[in-house]
Each structure stands twice: as structure tokens, then as C-alpha cells.
Structure 1
Amino acid sequence: MTTMVHASGIRGYLDVMQHIDFDPQSLLEYYGFTVEELYQDDAWLSQRSVVDLLESTAAQAKCPDLGLRISNHQDISILGVLSVILQSAESMRQVIEYTSEYLFLHGPGLVMSLNDPSPLIDDAVEIVFEIRLDDYAPQRQTMDICLGTTHRIFKWLAAEHYELKAVSLPHNPLASLAEYQRFFGAPIHINQERGALHLHRSVLHRQPHGSNAALREMAQDYLARYFRNPKEQISSSVRKALRIHLASARGNKIQVADMLGLHPRTLQRKLASEGTTFEEIKDNIRKEMALQYLWETPIQMSQLADILGFSEQSALSRATKRWYGMSPKALRLAKGQTL
């Protein structure tokens, strides 16, 4: 089944095209979109086609900061009913928790989670993003939109208490770092394990701008009655945990089961009922990340082995041959080919 996302997620695309004097009509037709659809915030679009559209547009229009430009046209209203939920939150921590739990309302292939503490910045927490696709595709512009729009929404909600300490990019950016620093007003770390915003820990305890206690009570009741993510299975929770802790000592079955409050055998049984295993989930994440890093960053093989949680570089080589039939170096040279 094709993963879909609301058209509001690329609100501003047509405005940017007009501003840079680029006609996107042929690209829209190629990826199966109409101008009318892009103006309907609640229209459902193929997420993979949106990701590809943004990458192709950035290349053909020679607009490497396309994602950041689109983000400048977005605000909390792009989230529809989720925006009302977020404005009912009691604290910024609850804003993050609500977003993590209900982002599927905007697009089931978009995942946000909180990693506390941040492994990169002292006295900070990490807001992690993942864009789930059925197969690999460059995601630079889509990740920039996720990071840029969330930054703008959180900055509006936290107001004067907002403090962004750093931004992590899981790729080698096409635009200059100066463009990113100007947009975010914070240090930018490239070629990282995941896309993330690193906020000062104190932000979590701040009350969102315009928070309404009465609205919060109604929103909580409304959510409990009508909105539960049908895809939020144990396997999804395992994937979230592994995406954060893959390279650390916590990226094993016992530790992940403990994070989820389960006995390892119970975790294994629940995963089996969903048709998967802990090892299969971990292997799939490694496979996806290996291709992303080899094709989108100049990362060294030894560093990639560490990021993927392999004990030695030879284990990485064996894995890529099993996944793709070639060594990591050959896989890097095959960039853009159909695998």
C-alpha cells in the first residue's frame, strides 16, 4: 500500500516556484500531481512521489535550499487537527509527546521521537525525525522541511523560552551551511546518524504559547475516543528505539525490551505476532542507513560500521554483500542505480 501524506506538508512549494521563476508543470505531471491538489491542504499525496518531486525540483531549478524556502511558508496550521491538539498541551514536553503519537494524522510515514539526553549537545534533548519509505530515495529536501517547519512551530509555541542549541543533518547538504545557520540561528552538524533538533532541556518544562486548560481536557477526551494510530505496533516502537540507539550498547534486544517495559521473551512473542523479529527490524534499519550514508555522505567505512553498530568493518562488508550483492565501495560507486 502506498504511504500518503497531506498536501499541506508542501504548502509553499508553488509560491517558491513563482518566486524563483521556475515552471514546475512538467515535474508535477511526471509525479502525478495537479496544481489544484497542492492548494488543497487536506488532499492525500503519495509520500514517495512528494519526496522525489522535491529532489528533482531542487536539481532542475538549481535551488539547493528548496526545503528551507518551503518551510518559510509553513506554520502550525499545516498540521490540521493536530495543530489544535498541540495548542492544548500543558508543556513543550507534552507538545513533543503529542506530535510523536499523532503525527500519523498528517502522514503515517513521518516519525518524530524524543531522545533524552541529546548524545551530541550537553544539557539538551534531541528531537529525532525519520521519513519512512518502502525503498531508498534521497530525502534531503523533505528532511529540511521536517526540521525547518518543526523549528518554526516550536519557536512559535515556546516563544521567548525557545532555545535551539544545534541541528543535525543526516546527509551532506546541497545548500551552504551559511544558509542553514541563517535559517535556524544555531550550529549545524552534517553527516550525522539522524536528522534532529537539539533543544535546551529547559524548553521541555515551558508552557506553550496560548495553552488552554479547557481545550486540553476536550482534546485529550477527543483523542482517546477517536484517534489511535492503527500502525503503532510494538515493531514501530522497536524501530524508534533502534533508530536512536543502534550504535550504542543499548541497541540490543534486552535493553530495548527494558525501554518498552517488556520482558525480552514477551517482546519476541509480540513481534512474532506482527510477523517480524527484533533481528529482522535491526537488519532492515542497517540496510536502509547503509545505502543512505554511502550515497548521500562522504563517510569513511570504519565510521559507517560504528554508526550501524557493527563490531568491525569486515562485518559491514559482509552485510552489504548480503543486502545488495556488492561491497560498500562498489555500492557507493553504484549511486543512483536500481538495486
Structure 2
Amino acid sequence: MLRHLGADPDPVIRAAGLDLAMLTDPNAIIPLGAFCELIIRSGACTGCPHFGLLLGQRVSLPSLGLIGSIMLRSETVGDALRSLIRHVEMHCIGATTALTAKEGTVIWNCVVYEPGIDCADQIADAAAAAGTNVLRALCGADWCPTEVLLPRSVPADEVIYRQLFGAPVRFNREVAALVFPTSQLDLPIPGADPLLLQTLQERLAEQSRRATPDFASRLRHLVRTELMQGHCSAERIAGLLCMHRRTLARRLNAEGTTFSVVADQGRFEIARQLIDHTDIPFSQIAAALGFSEASAFTRAFRRWSGDSPSAWRAGHRR
């Protein structure tokens, strides 16, 4: 992508603390923080404010390796997407994705849970573009979402977004998401092959056992996902981790923390990303995080950061 935009990739990659060899190794896992630094530097040196969007546009099912092969051999589009979601941490630690269906509409979203990430808007762009490519590979090249949601302020050039997605793009949203009819989950995939699928799934299961994320990453992942769905509690998170609430409390106590602290860290990260990258009113952010009123959110944010939301937005706006 850097070469395509007329830049020399080697100094940019090295300045981000990475080695060019990592980007040619299909099995390499790049830390999300380093990946963000790379995207920020790439956008700066090319003068392209939507570098993440263009990067995501280049993602294809073959680039997803074994998971991509499984998706192409799955029976339906829904089966394929659920396979990707179930094993997304094999490709990305620090961001996650989920699929929800309600009243005939599917929302396929992506959220960043790694703390301190400074390019959540670029990751959202890349995820939405990559997801569109994935669905076009499964449903046909002319597939388009009903609408696209992005957690970023309105860009100077909206046209490139509309052209890429072929659908209305809603900026200043809480999460990145593709919206489309539920009926499309039942569409058959032309290359479905049950026998080959079983073989590929067995290989993936073995790889998954070797790539299990650590407890802290898994916990942040679950807390981030549940917070945005409005039902994050110690009992629920413990159940998702297949342990009793008291076991979770002991595990966290051994690491010098508590569930309430971890949940507040998750709330702060969500709030920080939305304040940094969007123009969403603070009252709306407060509601999304489950606060009964904006003043309660303001007090909590000041406790987390030392600043009010308005002061933070003025000092950290990107």
C-alpha cells in the first residue's frame, strides 16, 4: 500500500519498531500497538488520512489463511462468519468482532479492547472495508451492506467511503459495523465442501490450542464486548470464562486488581476512543456506557483521567 501511494516502506516500517521480514511472514503476529504506529506513520508520510480504509480494502479471504479456507468451504454465509468470529484472535489480539441479529437485521461489528490504542478510527475503517470484501467473496462481487457505521468524525472526503461500500455511511457511531438483512446469513456458499471443511476444522482446532490468548487479553476482550451490549457483570464474565464468580475474584485479587477496576478500565477505554475520534455528544457516550446521566459520566471520567470529557477532547482531538 505504501509503494502504491509512492512511499518507501522500509523506513516507515522501521520507524514503527518493526522489521520488514515480519510483513512477509504470513504467520507473524504484529502487536496491535505497533500496527497502529505503522498506520499512523503511513498516513502521515503519504498524506492519506484514510490509509486504514485503503489497507482494509486489500484484505481477501486467502489472506486469512486457514480461517479463510474454512469460510469458503462452509455451508452458509452465517456459518462462515461465525467461524471467523470464533477464531478471530488467531489473527488479531486487541480487537474483536461480533454478530447480532434483531428484527430482520444483522449487525456485524468490530471493537478495539487493547488499552492505549491511538488509531481506533483507522482500525475501524480497515475492519469495515475488510468485512465488506469478505462478504463480497461469499455473497458475490456486487454485494453491498444496507448501511455502514463508523466510530469516527465525518472525514473531509466522504465520497471515497460511499464509493467503497456502495451504501450510506453513518459517522460518529459507537462501534464500527456492517448492517445487512438477516436473510443473507442463510445464503449458500457455492464452494461448500463438508468433507474438506471437517479436515480444515481439525487443523484449525490444533492451531487454536497453540494460540490461546493470555487471561488478561481474554478478560479485556469479554469486558469490552459486554460493556457495549449493556450487560457487563462479574457473574456474566465469570460464566463466559467457565469459572465461578468467586474464582474470578480470587484470580483478579492475585493479580492485584478487582472486577470493578477492570470494568472501569474498559469503560475509560471506550470513552477515550469515542471522545478522541468522534463528535458524539457526551450524553450519548454516557448512555452507551450505562450511566444514568451525563453528570455521573463526567465525574467518573474525571476520576479515570484527571480531566473532564470536554477538556480531554480539547487536548487529545485527532
**TM-score normalised by L of structure 1:** 0.81
Q: Which moved more, 1:91-100 or 1:269-278?
A: 269-278
Aligned to 2:75: 90
C-alpha displacement at 1:176, in angstroms?
A: 2.2
Paired letter, 1:199: F
**Per-residue deviation, residues 234-255 of structure 1 (Å, max 9, x unmatched):** 7367425424313xxxx25399
1:231 — aligned with what? 213
Q: Paired residue for 2:6?
A: 21
Match for residue 4 of structure 1? none
RMSD: 2.9
**Correspondent of 1:39 among 20, 24, 28:** 24
Q: Please give the TM-score of this superposition, normalised by the length of structure 2.
A: 0.86
2:246 match: 269
Distance in structure 1 (CA, Å) of the matches to 2:99 and 2:82: 8
Flag structure 1 segments of 5+ consecutive residues without an equivalent.
1-15
8 A contact 1:65–1:179 mirrored in 2: no
Amino acid at match of 2:88: L
Query: Shift in Å at residue 278 of structure 1?
Result: 4.8
Determine whether 1:253 maps to 2:230.
no
Which residue in 1 is equivalent to 2:123? 142
Are positions 1:211 and 2:192 aligned together? yes
Residue number in structure 2 paired with 1:283 = 264
Which residue type is aligned with residue 100 of structure 2?
N
Question: Who is 1:8 aligned against?
Answer: none
Distance apart, 1:336 and its partner CA: 6.5
Q: Once the 2 structures are TM-superposed, how far is the Cα of residue 173 of structure 1 from its aligned partner?
A: 4.6
Q: After the TM superposition, which residues 59-138 of structure 1 pair with which residues of structure 2 at under 5 Å, given as runs?
A: 59-117=44-102, 123-138=104-119
**In 2, are the aligned partners of 1:235 and 1:271 still within 8 Å (CA)?**
no
CA distance in structure 2 between the aligned counterparts of 1:221 and 1:273, rounded to whole angstroms: 34
Choose 318-327 or 32-41, whichever is displaced more.
32-41
Aligned mates of 1:133, 1:190 — CA distance in 2: 22
2:106 alignment partner, SS class = strand
- Please tell me whether the aligned partners of residues 115 and 244 of structure 1 are also in contact (alpha carbons under 8 angstroms): no
How many residues of Structure 1 are paired with residues of Structure 2 in the alignment? 311
Seen in structure 2, the aligned counterparts of structure 1 residues 149 and 209 have a Cα distance that, compared at 3 Å, is farther
Kindly provide the CA deviation profile for residues 293-319 of structure 1, in whole angstroms up to 9, marking residues without a partner as x. 221112222222112211011111111
Letter in 2 for 1:284: Q
* Structure-2 separation of matches of 1:204 and 1:61: 38
SS class of match (2:99)? strand
Structure 1 residue matching 2:180: 3-state secondary structure: strand
CA distance in structure 1 between the aligned counterparts of 2:247 and 2:107, rounded to whole angstroms: 28
**Greater CA drift, 130-139 or 313-322:** 130-139
Pick closer, same or farther for the CA change 1:84–1:292 going to 2, 3 Å: same
The verdict on how the C-alpha distance between 1:157 and 1:209 changes in structure 2, with shifts beyond 3 A counting, is farther
Of the candidates 160, 168, 182, which is equivalent to residue 179 of structure 1?
160
Identical pairs, percent: 25
